């Protein structure tokens, strides 16, 4: 009986943890100050159609912003950009200069539809469905399919 009670408690805690990780709508002024400041550099509050927050781990959140043109971008709670996805093209102000230059010279007449900085690299997806991998410093590494 004691084992069953402990098992039931563990299952309940696990289930509550999963539910706590769900996406929740949030208003702009409830975001952390650092995230608000970073977002205001490139967008106005009027451009933002919808914001959700998602708890990833204790004290670690991901904020997803959706604009009217279906552009989505993600910041973590420390105001680090995690991903941008835009069918109309990622705003150039959010891209590193090295990547913009490489894509413009190597793939003219293409649009960068996705940008994702990672721990050791940066990914860029072009409208031709091609993914380019760059180093953290913006040096081209390879093409991924």
Return averaged pLDDT per consecutive 10 residues of the chain, 145 residues in all. Answer: 60 53 84 91 87 89 92 92 93 92 94 94 92 95 87
pLDDT at 144: 87
pLDDT at 117: 95
What's the length of the chain?
A: 145
Place of tokens 């093209």: 89
Q: How far is CA 90 from the centre of its chain?
A: 12
Enter the CATH code of domain 23-144: 3.40.1420.30
pLDDT at 4: 56
72-101 core/surface letters (b: 16 or more CB in 10 A; e: else): bbbbbbebebebbbbeeebbeebbbeebbe
pLDDT at 18: 46
């Amino acid at each position: 009986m004691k084992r069953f009670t402990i098992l039931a408690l563990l299952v309940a805690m696990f289930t509550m943890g999963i539910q706590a990780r769900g996406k929740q709508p949030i208003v702009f002024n409830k975001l952390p100050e650092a995230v608000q400041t970073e977002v205001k550099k490139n967008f106005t509050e009027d451009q933002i159609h919808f914001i959700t927050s998602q708890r990833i781990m204790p004290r670690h959140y991901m904020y997803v912003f959706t604009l009217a043109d279906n552009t989505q971008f993600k910041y973590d709670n420390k105001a680090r950009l995690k991903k941008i996805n835009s069918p109309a093209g990622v705003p150039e102000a959010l891209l590193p200069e090295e990547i913009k230059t490489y894509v413009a010279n190597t793939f003219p007449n293409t649009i960068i539809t996705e940008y994702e900085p990672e721990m050791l690299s940066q990914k860029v997806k072009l409208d031709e469905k091609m993914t380019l991998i760059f180093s953290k410093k913006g040096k081209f590494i390879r093409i991924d399919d």
